[in-house]
Amino acid sequence: MLAEPTPKSARALALDLLCEAEARGQYPNIALDHALRRNPLSPADRALATTLVYGVTERRMTLDAIIDRLAAREIEPRVRAILRLGLYQLRYLDRIPAHAAVNESVALATRKSAGFVNAILRAYGRRAGEFTFAAADAASMAIAYSVAEPICAAFIEAFGLARAESIIAAFGRIPPLTLRVNTLRVSRDEYLARLAEAGIEASPCAVPSGIRLAASMNPTLLPGFDDGDCFVQDEASQRCVAALDAQPGELVLDLCACPGAKSFGAAIAMQNRGRVISSDLHANKLSLVASGAERLGISIIETAARDARVPVDELIGRADRVICDVPCSGLGVLGKKPDLRYKSLDDTSRLPAIQAAILETAAGYVRPGGRLVYSTCTILPAENEGVTAPFLAAHPEFAVAEERTLTPDVDGTDGFYYCAMVRV
């Protein structure tokens, strides 16, 4: 009988995933989920493996800059990955003792490279104070915060050097977990009381029915999550849905709906009375909307696979509310998606034309007196005001009711833009 393989440690698992992701030119989020299901780790080790994989991915440019200053030689990819893991623990994880970070990293190395890994990590321990990085321009900001130089340059162009650094620095802080309470089933006060009883610290958001947890955690472990008492939605997205101002009995169109949080929020605001049509270009993702609605006890949502740029004749001029959370560069969620830190901006130049086409089609669905909301999860003006301003100039029948750009440094939310317009 064959013996079962020895389970990998959290650090060994993280190392394998990081090496595999780099070799394939991918990011390890999906592979991490699969690996955690295959490897029987304790909750603490699962958390450590997750922290290491995402943390090293997030801080890779900064870690490499330190490694290259400490090591005057070519470094093979696996050894560099070990050094990244060790340096990340030494530099960013206060709860891990330095000797443990060094010794466990050395244990991951081969006999040939163990001495080199030990020497580099111990050298960093002696010289840690030397490694400070000032953000004087896009190139130095990229190293300081481990964000691709073109993204830093785009933020500096849009907001100036000091504000760009403030925003990018805020993306480096652990984002809070924010919930939308399903008030079809429970009030916000009642749910806050249930969280308190479970020993989970939380507070109300500025938006109705929003709750912010004091510490990040797996949402599926929250009281009543499986029963549909809440769902995950950032406060910025909740503010966008509030600006939609959906009312009971109305017809609401969500043109770029997946994974469905805005549709859910609108349906709850409508007290599950009326009709919400949630459409998306990707038919395979619409099951997320359907299953989410079922969990939440929402019955008024129907789904459809559609290209949001192509008008649906039978809906022209009929909708009370239309929301189009358009495809965008995603540069407002760098704090939650570390892979986006290294995103190429080459393809983003084509986005405003797509976004404008979706907004134009969406406008055609809005009845007189109805409301249209355009939104993105980016803060680059070209994808935001650069789209809505020309639209408004060409469509005097629409007037702005509310327009906001939210940023993590000022608002404590994702980077997000929305413009709510009324057809007058």
Residues involved in catalysis: 377
Identify the burial level of 30 via C-beta atoms within 10 angstroms of its C-beta, where 0-12 means exposed, 13-18 middle and 19 or more buried. exposed
- Phi-psi domain of 366 (left: phi exceeds 0; alpha: psi -120 through 50; beta: other): beta
Q: What are phi and psi of 384, to 5 degrees?
A: -115, -95
Give CA 62 to chain center in angstroms. 21
Are 377 and 330 within 8 A, CB to CB? yes
Identify the burial level of 353 via C-beta atoms within 10 angstroms of its C-beta, where 0-12 means exposed, 13-18 middle and 19 or more buried. exposed
Are 259 and 290 within 8 A, CB to CB? no
Q: Which of 285, 277, 184, 291 is nearest to 230 (CA)?
A: 184
Structure tokens at 375: 């939104």
Q: What 8-state DSSP symbol labels residue 9?
A: P
First to last CA, the chain: 77
Are 335 and 408 within 8 A, CB to CB? yes
Helix/strand/coil for 366 = strand
Give CA 191 to chain center in angstroms. 24
Are 253 and 280 within 8 A, CB to CB? no
User: Residue 415 belongs to what H/E stretch?
Assistant: none
Are 271 and 296 within 8 A, CB to CB? no
C-alpha 245/C-alpha 402 separation (Å) is 11
C-alpha 414/C-alpha 112 separation (Å) is 45
What is the spatial order of strands in the sheet that 230-232 belongs to?
A: 202-204, 210-213, 178-181, 230-232
Q: Which of 124, 93, 95, 159 is nearest to 379 (CA)?
A: 159
Q: Which residue bears the tokens 């013996």?
A: 3
